[in-house]
A = this chain, B = another copy of it.
Amino acid sequence: MAVTVKDVASAAGVSTATVSRVLNDNPGVAAATRTRVLRAIQDTGYRMNTIARSLKTSRTRTIGFLVPEIVNEFFMNIARGVEDALRAAGYSLIICSANEAVSGEKKQLELLAEKCVDGIIIIPSTGQGEHYRRLTELDIPAVLVDRRVDGFVADTVLVENREGSYAAVEYLIKRGTTRFGFIGGDPALTTARERYQGFLAALHDHSLEADEEIIKFGDFHVESGYTLMGELMESPRPPEHIFIANYFMHIGATKYVIEHLGDLPQAVQFASFDDMELSALLGFSSVTVAQPMAEMGATAARLLLSRINGGGPGGAQTLRLKTKLLTRS
């Protein structure tokens, strides 16, 4: 078997209590004893059994991260921020995919609870959050990222979706665009709604009409972007400028354009939310709204950790991070 505190203790000629104290940087251990124990730890090649510690302390130093989908550049950029911040604090991450369904979320949450994670960070899969209340029951702190949900309040990290799309649309308006198509996500998601609101507000503030004929909603996926772009292009009066509410729909729309280049009624130009590595490669793109993805993750991690360690204000707090407008020259 592996070497335990007991072995270290006898090797150092002290009690297990003392070893434990050294292990936990507990003050009140004579310097001489401490070095002796440290040596014994070296010599025996001791490695902490965190399971045993967790059983005793009921803290696992592990955080669960529930995402709608693993294969998703946006979510994984956030994950990276979470991981970096957590690791810096000595925590590890269990990443779980909910497969974009409440049922999946429930299952994974139950699993994470069984694993006794100290806290959970969630990118909600849907707009529904009633089932997250189970976490409150189980007394597991949670932080939401990217989206807000109905039926559950918790610390939340969002970006300025409204302001972001407003800025992008306004940018184009100032350069002369007067008519915009819109390809949006599922309005059940707060992000989709907020980005739509920003779009509308920009039009309104510049005395432009929103033309419902060319305002479409889908679901934030590539296929949906493709389909809606098709609908737009086949509408009675296809728009030339189109605001697209996220990266994946942007890809889908671009795909449509590329595949129909020949028989497109006219040239198109996109403004879109999200700026990824590849955004710059997508043709027909003029402005993108970059989200601080890693920072979102890191912020969520910090929020959660402070919650776990008893810090943080009484009520739930929401942090809104700024987006950044990127224009292609």
Q: Residues of A at under 8 Å CB distance from B? A: 47-52, 54-55, 58, 60, 62, 70-73, 76-77, 79-80, 83, 92-97, 111, 113-116, 222, 251, 254-255, 258, 277-278, 280-283
- Measured between beta carbons, the chain B residues less than 8 angstroms from A54 are 51
- Measured between beta carbons, the chain B residues less than 8 angstroms from A115 are 50, 62, 92
- Measured between beta carbons, the chain B residues less than 8 angstroms from A55 are 49, 51-52, 55
- Measured between beta carbons, the chain B residues less than 8 angstroms from A71 are 73, 76-77, 79-80
- Measured between beta carbons, the chain B residues less than 8 angstroms from A92 are 94, 96, 111, 115
**Smallest CB–CB gap between A240 and chain B, Å?**
21
On whether the beta carbons of A83 and B97 are closer than 8 Å, the reply is yes
**Smallest CB–CB gap between A278 and chain B, Å?**
6
Report the Cα distance A258→B279, complex, angstroms.
13
**Smallest CB–CB gap between A124 and chain B, Å?**
19
Report the Cα distance A93→B62, complex, angstroms.
12
List 10 interface pairs A-B (beta carbons < 8 Å), by A numbering: A49-B114, A50-B114, A50-B115, A51-B51, A51-B54, A51-B60, A70-B76, A83-B97, A258-B281, A258-B283
Copies of this chain held together in the complex: 2
**Smallest CB–CB gap between A172 and chain B, Å?**
22
The 10 closest A-B pairs by CB, nearest first: A95-B95, A51-B54, A70-B80, A51-B55, A50-B114, A71-B76, A51-B116, A55-B55, A71-B80, A94-B94
On whether the beta carbons of B76 and A97 are closer than 8 Å, the reply is no
On whether the beta carbons of B114 and A48 are closer than 8 Å, the reply is yes
**Smallest CB–CB gap between A270 and chain B, Å?**
13
Report the Cα distance A73→B277, complex, angstroms.
12
Known contacts A60-B51, A76-B76, A114-B47; A70 and B83 CB within 8 A of each other: yes
Report the Cα distance A251→B281, complex, angstroms.
8
Report the Cα distance A187→B313, complex, angstroms.
53
On whether the beta carbons of B254 and A47 are closer than 8 Å, the reply is no
Report the Cα distance A92→B93, complex, angstroms.
11
**Smallest CB–CB gap between A120 and chain B, Å?**
13
- Measured between beta carbons, the chain B residues less than 8 angstroms from A60 are 51
When the two chains form the complex, which single residue of B96, B251, B277 contacts A277, counting CB atoms closer than 8 Å? B251
When the two chains form the complex, which single residue of B52, B70, B93 contacts A79, counting CB atoms closer than 8 Å? B70
